[in-house]
Amino acid sequence: MDEFALIRRFFTGLGPKVPEILLGPGDDCALLQMQAGEQLAISVDTSVEGRHFPAQADPWAIGWRCLGVALSDLAAMGARPLGFTLAITLPDADENWLTEFSRGLGALADQLACPLIGGDTTRGPLTLSVQVQGAVDRQHVWRRSGAQPGQIIAVLGSLGSAAAGLRSFHEQPERLHDRASWDSLEKAYMLPQPLIQEALGLSRGVSISSAIDISDGLLADLQHLLASSAVAAELDLEQLPLDPLLLKRLGKTLALDAALHGGDDYALLLTLDEADFPLARNLCPQLTRIGRLVKGAGIRTPEGDLLEPEGYNHFSGQQEGS
């Protein structure tokens, strides 16, 4: 089938109609009309086969996942989705693969009301670049830079599960095909749930001073937020939200290690005034307080032990200057 037939068959009509989208795929550009008082938030995430997801993974899950990791960035700004573009590079046009891939993609597009509005289809090694467009009320934009000493640090979502799920797939690659049997850790890795609704609910009710999504590991992403805000953090490791299955599977020490350093969680890290926390918990019962912001730099335990990130980095194997 040719490129245009492929687009018509697998990438048309994914997701619902959204009033801001005036023109979707099929012209030189898509057209969006923002509502008054709203800003446009955009973010792009690339998923490369064998690097961001295993080559043999269930294509339904690959479709869900490549959109999910991008939507997580909208959640981290407090933005609601308007639509996404997909730049897909495919080694070939495998019908079964594409059918399942587009179903998984469409399932999340439907769930979070984020239609496919454009893209590009090319041939080459499997690479998926998803750019999400979202709208955010200009009064309620969450940036990384607003955290203040004295505020508390909270997490929405579980930590460390995705790292344990990935390990499970490494140990039992045959499970990659068996989506129906995935446990909560395996789902955390392959089917991340972007916390869009939770973020929008919080955003409307509580003042969040800064936010980031946790894709590189809690310590690495907290460090980004702290650097943007020029503050330090004290983390209470006993409070980290861990899936009971993670504790059972890895034991406490390794579970904690996965929570601090493991990537791909797509949980949200938020900072807010301590006085607002009860209301925030009412709006979002899964919200967990994990520490507080202090003056200075770095991340420490209440006992003063320094915690340092070891997050995944794509080019870290190379020497500076190579």
The answer to whether 154 contacts its own copies (rule: CB under 8 A) is no
- The contact mask relative to its own copies for 249-288 (x = CB under 8 A, - = no) is ----------------------------------------
Pick between residue 12 and residue 313 the one whose CB is nearest to its own copies.
313
Closest CA to 139 of 82, 208, 231: 208
Pick between residue 225 and residue 240 the one whose CB is nearest to its own copies.
225
Of 102, 127, 161, 271, the one binding its own copies (CB under 8 A) is 127
Q: Please choose, out of 42-50, 60-68, 170-178, 231-239, the segment that lies near its own copies by the rule CB under 8 A.
A: 42-50
Identity of the residue numbered 34: M
Contact 171, 45 (CB under 8 A): no
The answer to whether 26 contacts its own copies (rule: CB under 8 A) is yes
Of 96, 181, 253, 316, the one binding its own copies (CB under 8 A) is 316
Tokens at 127, concatenated: 């690479």
Q: Please choose, out of 130-138, 149-157, 188-196, 280-288, the segment that lies near its own copies by the rule CB under 8 A.
A: 130-138
Closest CA to 47 of 30, 68, 29: 68
Q: Which residues pair with 307 in a beta bridge?
A: 299
Length of the chain: 322
Which uninterrupted H or E stretch holds 212? strand 208-214
**In terms of DSSP bridges, do strands 80-90 and 116-123 run parallel, antiparallel, or are they unpaired?**
parallel
Q: Is the dihedral of CA 198, 204, 208, 209 positive or negative?
A: positive
- The contact mask relative to its own copies for 106-125 (x = CB under 8 A, - = no) is -----------xxxxxxxxx
Of 12, 172, 282, 313, the one binding its own copies (CB under 8 A) is 313
The answer to whether 238 contacts its own copies (rule: CB under 8 A) is no
The answer to whether 133 contacts its own copies (rule: CB under 8 A) is yes
CA distances from 246 to 170, 189, 252, 258, 284 (A): 16, 13, 9, 9, 22
Binding residues: 28, 43, 45, 52, 73, 119-120, 144, 213, 215-216, 264, 312
